[in-house]
Amino acid sequence: MNYYKISFSLSRIFLLSAFTFTINLSFAQKTAISLKSAYQDDFLIGTALGTEHILEKNEKANALIKREFNAITPENIMKAQVIHPAPNRYNFTLADKYVEYGQKNQMYVVGHTLVWHSQLPPFVFKISNPDSLRIFMTEHINTVAGRYAGKINSWDVVNEALNEDGSLRKSVFLNKLGEGYIKEAFLLAAKADPKAALYYNDYNIEQPAKRKGAIELIKKLQASGVKIDGVGIQGHWSINTLNLKDIEDSILEFSALGIKIAFTELDLTVLPNPWDLQGADVNQRFEEKPEMNPYKDALPDSVQTVLANRYTDLFKLFLKHKDKISRITFWGVDDNHSWLNGFPIRNRTNYPLLFDRLLEPKKAYQAVLNLKIAK
């Protein structure tokens, strides 16, 4: 064979190989894209971890968490009922493993939560003396926040302290310590863990009345010189009643206070809600009825599409205001893990997240990802 023909053939083979390699590399790059990599220049993408995730019991779930998320929040194991079950007794086993999980995977670690009226250990409700309750709160914050000082990136210092009309919730803390307990909690947290960002966290504070109350609360803290770095809007919403205007107004109004906004517990229920229930008051329960559990076996494709569209709308809004938002955290890893399966009616099957019960991505996942990779 002629030398020039051999050279030409080799050149064609080389070019074809290079072209094939480029295609394969492009495909590999696309398949390697995750939520956290797609949004790395915008805000953190987080998830709530249950005990099974912290202990890394499910290999597929563990791989998914590490691939898709760069921020974590403990679903329950840092709440007082678990971490401080009795006077002068703490249980740090799971909390230690949670913090270790975040550190070894180089994730943003959220502490949730220091002061909350719910999921308290029973002995707290037996405290009748205000001074004794103040001692409990002080020792609890000093011990828990102090133990993880320098290892927690942000704390939800006070959780759900407001009623729907924006007034202060008549919790055990308000009733015995007065409204000053919120300021005390932030001061204690700032002293116990000076490097952590400190957040007030609540549901429905995107809605006008409750938002007004939250803004007044934050302004009072700021006026008294208290360190407060951000506000957490939980984001327990419905595909049927998602109000983007309220959400955008809340981003703008909270940001005007000079603080960051995090969406801390995001999920979108797909199930009917005849009581016009909103938010996440865990004490609300309703009767089981078949019509309230319409997707017991599977979610219809038409509803999958609606869910994907709602997440698309939400993330378009988040991207519009990415300079004001620090983090978006989904309240659960997958549909099977979601607390909404049993709230506010037991034994319901819900589908509020981006990954299904087999830990596979849903239409909603691809929709959120497409907002970035389509550009």
Radius of gyration of the chain (CA): 24
Find the catalytic residue in 265, 287, 291, 360. 265
Classify residue 302 by burial, with Cβ atoms within 10 Å: 0-12, 13-18, 19+: exposed
Instruction: Please answer whether residues 332 and 350 qualify as being in contact, where contact means their C-beta atoms are separated by less than 8 angstroms.
Output: no
As to burial, measured by CB atoms within 10 angstroms (0-12 exposed, 13-18 middle, 19+ buried), residue 335 is buried
Q: Among the options 68, 75, 160, 206, which is catalytic?
A: 160
Is 265 considered catalytic here? yes
Active site residue 56: no
Q: Which two tokens stand for residue 317?
A: 């809004």
**Beta strands 325-330 and 44-49, pairing class:** parallel
Sign (positive or negative) of CA dihedral 361, 364, 370, 371 = negative
Would you list the DSSP string of 263-312? EEEEEEE-S--TT---S--TT------GGG-TTSS---HHHHHHHHHHHH
How would you label 246-258 residue by residue, b for 16+ Cβ within 10 Å and e otherwise? ebeebbebbbebe
Residue that has been written with the tokens 């208290």 in this structure: 226
C-alpha 288/C-alpha 313 separation (Å) is 32
Residues labelled as active-site residues: 160, 265
